[in-house]
Amino acid sequence: MAEAFDCAVFDAVDVIVAKRGKQELSAAQIDWVIDAYTRGVVADEQMSSLAMAILLNGMNRREISAWTTAMIASGERMDFSSLSRPTSDKHSTGGVGDKITLPLAPLAAACGVAVPQLSGRGLGHTGGTLDKLESIPGWSPVLSSDQMMHQLEEVGAVICAAGEGLAPADRKLYALRDVTGTVEAIPLIASSIMSKKIAEGTRALVLDVKVGSGAFMKDVDSARELARTMVDLGKDAGVKTVALLTNMQTPLGLTAGNALEVRESVEVLAGGGPPDVVELTLVLAREMLVAAGRGDIDPADALKDGRAMDVWRAMITAQGGDPRAPLPVARETHQILAPGPGVLTQLDALKVGIAAWRLGAGRARKEHKVQAGAGIEMHAKPGAVLRAGDPLMTLHTDTPERFGRAIESLAGSYFIAPEGSRPDLLPLVIERIN
């Protein structure tokens, strides 16, 4: 019965009513409510009411900073200060075909920084980095702190699952927000992401804030506000932080799906790959190096001369994977052809992401399994000139009964305009915020 006798200095209802009345919450109120929620003293229905009040009435910089600090304090903090290399990490707010972590982590490591990337699994239409890497035969996302430290020193890059002890308040709150319509609150997204990244112990952080249909943030203004909030939180915590707003109107690269994206990432590490994936990997690598004080190094050299590929192979091998093993391939495919000639001016990220998810590349519930080979291969991107009957996309799945629903979600996903038309797209990198 311990939880019934919490020596509360506050009452959950008072905190909810204060935020409902647009008042500023004190640091003491925030510390209490996060701690009490993590311990089960504040009930889910009370926290969900507070989250909705925050979504509707917002929080100021001081409140968001206190909220983030309290979530970090709910668990353990990692410390990489004994490593011989400076740490630098990247976080993306998530998008369709966003496989950039896969080539980026080994590339940055090949340039002399340590990349301690704690990642998650996908839920909904955006894929998760761990799901992608798990399509490599033998690869495991589970590492102890000692193994992580050893791999960072020896190889330079780790991509693994965050342990249960890292910001447990966020783990509980994020699951609650997911089912109470409160994910979209900028103060809650910013504090959720930054509590985990600060607890992870990196000294430098580059944020890739996606903008467009396939992203959390559908427009540049809200993406800018999220980026500004996260950069401020990072700086307040002593982490050198910079954010780029990048285009997620259309999928990144030519693949969306786990093994398909690993294959494309390896192509990038081998010196090929789609131009947008190569460009964004290099832009983010440069930012990671500058933030870590290694701005004099050009990551393009390490991509060209194979050093990044060497680190990739070492990173996969260190976690039990076989980097040379064939990747899983889906049992069935279905091609979508261009219905007429012209210029592809639109390929919608959200619709492609939902179709890939319906083919089995993503999960609807945490406990669902993903299909390693499922997803979508795109044969044309906006700007491409097409003839009638040219292949537009190939859908991949092990379960052909999924084709119907995937094809339904692709209705209106692309637009072919008369020859001479130009797509009206945001640039790949829209803005830099520091």
Of these, 36, 71, 169, 189, which contacts ligand URA (CB under 6 A)? 189
Find the shortest distance in angstroms from Cβ 196 to ligand URA.
Answer: 6
Minimum gap (Å) between residue 16 Cβ and ligand URA = 20
* Whole-angstrom distance, CA of residue 330 vs CA of residue 203: 40
Helices within 111-246 (DSSP H only): 129-133, 145-154, 168-178, 186-200, 220-236
- Least separation, in Å, of the C-beta of 233 and ligand URA? 13
Q: Does 192 bind ligand URA (CB under 6 A)?
A: yes
Which residue's Cβ has the minimum distance to ligand URA? Answer: 192
Q: How many binding residues for ligand URA (CB under 6 A)?
A: 6
DSSP 334-389: EEEE-SSSEEEEEE-HHHHHHHHIIIIIS-SSTTPPPPTT-EEEES--TT-EE-TT
Examine residue 195 and tell whether it contacts ligand URA (CB under 6 A). no
- The label of the residue with tokens 């990551």 reads 299
Name the active-site residue from 19, 196, 294, 381: 196
102/166 with CB nearer ligand URA: 166
**Which position among 10, 174, 357, 414 is part of the footprint of ligand URA (CB under 6 A)?**
174
**237, 67 contact by CB (below 8 A):** no
Distance CA 88, CA 234 (A): 13
Catalytic position from the list 98, 170, 208, 276: 170
Q: Is 91 a catalytic residue?
A: yes
**Stretch of residues binding ligand URA (CB under 6 A), selected from 11-19, 41-49, 188-196, 393-401:** 188-196
Assess 414 for contact with ligand URA (CB under 6 A).
no
Site string (131-170) toward ligand URA, x via CB under 6 A: ----------------------------------------
* Rounded distance between C-alpha atoms, residue 66 and residue 10, angstroms: 16
Buried b (16+ CB within 10 A) or exposed e, 45-79: ebbbbbbbbbbeeebeeebbbbbbbbbbbbbeebe
Q: Which residue type does 214 have?
A: G
196 tagged catalytic:
yes
Check binding of 193 to ligand URA (CB under 6 A): yes
Report, in Å, the least distance between residue 322 CB and ligand URA. 30
Element (H, E) at 431: strand 429-433
Q: Does 413 bind ligand URA (CB under 6 A)?
A: no
Q: How far is the CB of 407 from ligand URA (least distance, A)?
A: 29
Q: Find the part of the chain contacting ligand URA (CB under 6 A) among 64-72, 148-156, 184-192, 301-309.
A: 184-192
Cα→Cα distances 201→76, 118, 163, 383, Å: 10, 10, 13, 42
Tell me, what amino acid is at 196?
K
User: 151 and 318 in contact (C-beta within 8 Å)?
Assistant: yes
Q: Which of 19, 99, 172, 177 is catalytic?
A: 177
- Asked if 67 touches ligand URA (CB under 6 A), the answer is no
Verify whether residue 368 is a known catalytic residue: no
Q: Which of 19, 91, 203, 286 is catalytic?
A: 91
Least Å distance, CB 326 to ligand URA, is 33
Tell me, rounded to whole angstroms, the distance of Cα 242 from its chain centroid.
16
User: What's the Cα-to-Cα distance from 321 to each of 92, 136, 141, 396, rounded to whole Å?
Assistant: 24, 6, 10, 23
For ligand URA, the closer of residues 174 and 312 by Cβ is 174
Indicate which residue of 49, 65, 74, 192 is catalytic. Answer: 192
Instruction: Give the contacts of 406 (CB within 8 A, at least 6 positions apart).
Output: 355, 356, 358, 359, 395, 397
Report d(CA 109, CA 289) in Å as an integer: 10
Q: How far is the CB of 283 from ligand URA (least distance, A)?
A: 22
Q: Which residues belong to the active site?
A: 91, 170, 177, 192, 196
Residues that bind ligand URA (CB under 6 A): 174, 183, 188-189, 192-193
